[in-house]
Structure 1
Amino acid sequence: MFTKVGASAYKTDLHNTIALLDQLQQPHKSFKSIHIAGTNGKGSTSHMLAAIFQQAGYKTGLYTSPHLIDFRERIRVNGEMVSEEFVTSFTENLKPAIAEIAPSFFELTVAMAFSYFQQQQVDIAIIEVGLGGRLDSTNVITPELSVITNISYDHKQILGDTLPQIASEKAGIIKPNIPVVISETQSEVAEVFINKAKENNSPIVFADQEWMEAQSTINKAHLDVQILDTAEQQMRTLKLDLSGQYQEKNLMGVLSAVKQLQQQGWHISWQHVITALSHVKKLTGLRGRWDVVDLHPLTVLDVGHNEAGISEIMEQLRHVNYQQLHIVVGFVKDKEVDKVLPLFPTTAHYYFCKAQLPRALDEVALAEMGAANGLNGHAYPSVQAALHAAKQHAQKDDMILVCGSFFIVAEVM
C-alpha cells in the first residue's frame, strides 16, 4: 500500500486497472466525469467542483485520496461516504479476481469507486488523480473536462526530477478533443501542456489568464475574494469557506472549469457557484486545508507536505495575528525535507513528531535536521504527545499549526 510504504507499492502501468474493470463490465464507461491532476490543489479543486455540481442539483460522485480518518472518505456521492456494506461486499465478490490479478490497494480502490458510481447512477463524477497522471489508475476515463492545478516537486523518484518531466506525466490525462484547464500559468512548463493539447486537438485554457484577483481578505474561517472576469470585464465577489489564501489559485481553475462546462450544456448558474463555494466543507466533507479547529489558541491543521505546499502555508502565516507560534510537524521519509525545513520560521517553538506508519521519518532525526536549520524544539514519539505538549505551552493568544503530512493531520483529527 503506497500510503504506508511508498514507491515500492506503485504500479507503473494501467494493465491491472483495465483487467479489474473488464471483470466488472467497465463501470467507468457508464457515467460522465471530470479528471483532475496536479501537484498541489487537486483535492481542494475536486471538492469545490463537486460542491458546485451538488448545489446545481446533479447527483455527484467524488473520488479522492488519501483519506484522513476513514477509508470511505475516498468515495462519496453528494458528500455521503460509500457504505461499509458496499466496501465489504465489493471486496468479497472480487476476491477471485484479486487473487488472479494481484492489484495494488489503489488500483482496487479505483475499481471500487467506479463500480459504486455506476451503481448509484451518478450524473457526474469528479475523479482526482492519485499520483502523476499518465500511468495513474484513474487514467482510464474519457472525461468531459481535464483540469491540471499546478506543477511542483513531489514524488521525484517516480515522476522525474525536473518540472517539465513532472508536467509531462500530469499532461498524460489530456485526452483527444477533450478541453483542458490549467489553473496556473508556470513559464517552465506551459509549453508542455500547450504541445500536448495541440497533439490531441484539445482546447486549452490557462485559468489565470481568464481571471484576475482584485482583492482578497482572510478571516479566520473564510476567504473573501474579489475576482475580475477578464473576458466580460465583470467583477465577481465570492466568500469561500476554505480560508487558505492559496485557494485563490485553485479558485481560478474551478471558475474556468465551470465556464467550460456551461459551454458544454451543464446547467450551472453563478448563484450555484456562490452558494457552493461558501459551503464546500458542509457539502463534500473536505477537511485539512487551513482547517481552523480551535480559536483560543488558534489551532490550524493543514495537509501541505511538499516544498510548494509548505511555502503557501508560510505565506498564509504572514496574514495571521498571534503572540507565539507553535508548530507540530512530521514528514514521511520520501519527502525532500532538507528543501522544506528552511522555509519554516526560526521564531516558532517546534514539536517534532512521527505518524504511526513505516514510511514516517524518525522524529529524533527530524529534530536534528530542524536544529541544523535553526528550528528549536523537542522530539515526541507520537503526534498525540506532540500536540499535548503544544497545547500545554500555548497561551490563548498563541497559534498552533499542525502540518507536514496527511498522516500527522489525520492522527490529530
Structure 2
Amino acid sequence: MITNDEALIEYFKILRTGDYQRDNFNLFLKEIKFSFPLHAVHLSGTNGKGTTGTVLKNIYKEAGYKVAHFSSPYLFSPREMITYDGQSIAIEKIASLIAQYEHLFKKYNLSEFEVEAFLAFTYLLEDKPDLTIIECGMGGLIDATNIFTPILSIITSISLEHTSFLGSSLTEIAFHKAGIIKKRVPLLIGSIEESALEVIKEVASQEKAPIYQVGPYLDERLLEDCYLFSYKPYQDLKIPSLALFSVLDASFALGAAEILKPLLNVSREAIYLGVAKTSLPGRMEVLNHSPLLIVDGAHNPEATSRLKESLEKLQGDKKIHIIFAAFNDKNITMMLAELNFISNDITLTTFPHPRARKEEEYFLYLDEFPFVEDYRTLIKEKIAQYPEDIIVITGSLAFAGLVSQQYKKGLIK
C-alpha cells in the first residue's frame, strides 16, 4: 500500500530499467485504447526543457488558464513530476491510479518512466487542463511521452548525451529528438549544429511542420539576484535567477507563447509576471550569500558549458571552488574540462545513490583532482575556508537536489 513518498519511491525502484524500447508500452497502450486529445506542448532537447516548461507554465497560469506540467527527473518525490494548477499530484491519487493499472504494468513489464508518464497522462485526462506541457524523458522518437499530437513541438538543443541509447553522433541523436515532430504541427527550435539541423529540417519537411527559430534575447544584465533582458517586443523582463542560461530558456517560452497566441492568447502582464515568478531548485540555486554557495544540476557537457558561462558572468574577482559528483554513465572528462576553465580547485566526491560514481570509478582523474568521500564534511570545510569566495556544487541534478534539501534542513552549515 502506497501511503507516502518513501513508499512511492520504493515502488518505482522495482520497475524495469536499463533498456530503451517501446514494444511493451505500445502493446499496453493498445490494450487500454489510450488517447490524449488535450491541448499540449511537447518539449525535447538536451538541456533547457525544465526552465522553458516552467516559464511557459507560469505565463499561462498568470493569464488565468489551468495548466498542467509533466517534467523529469524529480528532486525529492516522483509526485513533483506531475503538477496541475501549480500543485503536485496527491499521494492518494497516484496510489489509486497505480492500484487501478498495476496488473497491466506487470503484464507488460513496463519501465519506471513509462509508468510515470502514463500516470501523468491519465491523471490529466481526468482534470482536463486548458494547456499541458510535456517534457520528454530522453530523445523523443520512442520516448514514453511521445504518444499524442501536440499543438506545438519544441526542440531546445541537441548535443551528445545518452549515447548508449540514442546514438554516438549528433545526427543520430537529432533523429530521435525529431521524433516529436508531427504532421502540420509548428516546431520551435533553438540554435542547432548544422548536421543535426539538417535532420530536423528533413523530418519537418516530410511532416509539413512549419519551423520557427527562437528569437535572440537582448540587453541582458545581471543584477544582484536576477537577470533583466529584452525579447522582442518585451523590454526589461526580469527572471529571478543568476543563470544566464535561464534567459535563453525563457526566450523559448516567450517564442512559444507568441506562436500559440491565436489559440491561447496571453496578455503582456501575464508574460512579465510569468517570467518574474520562475525559479527552479537545483538550477544555479543560491543557498547562501557569504560565501556564495550555489547548487546546479548540470549533468552533461552542454549543461556544464552553460553553467561555466553563467559563473564567468558572476565571478568578478572572486575565486570559484567546485565540489563535483556525477552518475557513473556521464561524460565527466568533458564536464571537468569545462569547469577547469573557471576553477583550479575542483574536488571530487560521491553521494548515496545507486548510480553515483564511487572513488574507484574516478580512477582516471585522481592524479589531477582530489577525492573526498564525505560530501557534507567537504562542503562544511570549503564554507569555513573560503567565506568570501564562490562555492559551486554540481555534476548531477540528484546531487544538487540532495545538497539543497540537506542544507535547508540545517544538516550542512
Query: Normalising by structure 2, what TM-score?
Result: 0.89
Superposed, 1:7-406 pairs within 5 Å as 9-13=18-22, 15-22=23-30, 26=34, 28-207=35-214, 211-227=215-231, 229=232, 234=233, 236-263=235-262, 265-281=263-279, 286-320=280-314, 321=316, 323-345=318-340, 347-363=343-359, 365-366=361-362, 369=365, 371-372=367-368, 376=369, 378-395=370-387, 397-406=388-397
1:36 and 1:128 in contact (8 A); partners too: yes
| 2-structure distance, mates of 1:8, 1:120 | 29
Amino acid at match of 1:269: S
Instruction: Kindly state the Cα deviation for residue 388 of structure 1 after the two structures are TM-superposed.
Output: 2.5
Deviations 1:282-324 (A, max 9, x none): xxxx311111121111111111111111111111111223533
2:37 and 2:148 in contact (8 A); partners too: no
2:327 and 2:355 in contact (8 A); partners too: yes
Deviations 1:139-176 (A, max 9, x none): 00111100000011111111111111111110010001
Amino acid at match of 2:238: K
State which drifts further: 89-98 or 171-180. Answer: 89-98
Deviations 1:128-149 (A, max 9, x none): 0000000100000111100000
Residue 261 of structure 2: SS of its match in structure 1? Answer: helix
Instruction: Kindly state the Cα deviation for residue 348 of structure 1 after the two structures are TM-superposed.
Output: 3.7
Aligned pair in 2 of structure 1 residues 79, 20: CA closer, same or farther (>3 Å)? Answer: farther
State which drifts further: 58-67 or 254-263. Answer: 254-263
| 1-structure distance, mates of 2:198, 2:251 | 20
Residue 381 of structure 2: SS of its match in structure 1? Answer: helix
Runs of 4+ residues over 6 Å off in structure 1:
none
Residue 273 of structure 1: SS of its match in structure 2? Answer: helix
Residue 127 of structure 1: SS of its match in structure 2? Answer: strand
Residue 217 of structure 1: SS of its match in structure 2? Answer: strand
Residue 54 of structure 1: SS of its match in structure 2? Answer: helix
Amino acid at match of 1:259: E
1:352 and 1:367 in contact (8 A); partners too: no
Amino acid at match of 1:308: E
Tell me the percent identity: 26
| 1-structure distance, mates of 2:30, 2:209 | 28
2:242 and 2:310 in contact (8 A); partners too: no
Aligned pair in 2 of structure 1 residues 367, 276: CA closer, same or farther (>3 Å)? Answer: farther
Aligned pair in 2 of structure 1 residues 406, 179: CA closer, same or farther (>3 Å)? Answer: same
Name stretches of at least 5 consecutive residues in structure 1 with no aligned partner. Answer: none
Instruction: Kindly state the Cα deviation for residue 22 of structure 1 after the two structures are TM-superposed.
Output: 4.8
| 1-structure distance, mates of 2:352, 2:223 | 33
2:217 and 2:248 in contact (8 A); partners too: no
1:87 and 1:112 in contact (8 A); partners too: yes
| 2-structure distance, mates of 1:88, 1:4 | 15
Aligned pair in 2 of structure 1 residues 4, 96: CA closer, same or farther (>3 Å)? Answer: closer
2:17 and 2:112 in contact (8 A); partners too: no
Amino acid at match of 2:91: E
Instruction: Kindly state the Cα deviation for residue 278 of structure 1 after the two structures are TM-superposed.
Output: 0.5
Aligned pair in 2 of structure 1 residues 116, 220: CA closer, same or farther (>3 Å)? Answer: farther
2:71 and 2:81 in contact (8 A); partners too: yes
| 2-structure distance, mates of 1:96, 1:371 | 51
Matched positions, count: 392
Amino acid at match of 2:338: L
2:41 and 2:150 in contact (8 A); partners too: yes
Amino acid at match of 1:280: T
Aligned pair in 2 of structure 1 residues 239, 20: CA closer, same or farther (>3 Å)? Answer: same
Aligned pair in 2 of structure 1 residues 384, 319: CA closer, same or farther (>3 Å)? Answer: same
2:349 and 2:372 in contact (8 A); partners too: yes
Residue 188 of structure 1: SS of its match in structure 2? Answer: helix
Instruction: Kindly state the Cα deviation for residue 248 of structure 1 after the two structures are TM-superposed.
Output: 2.9
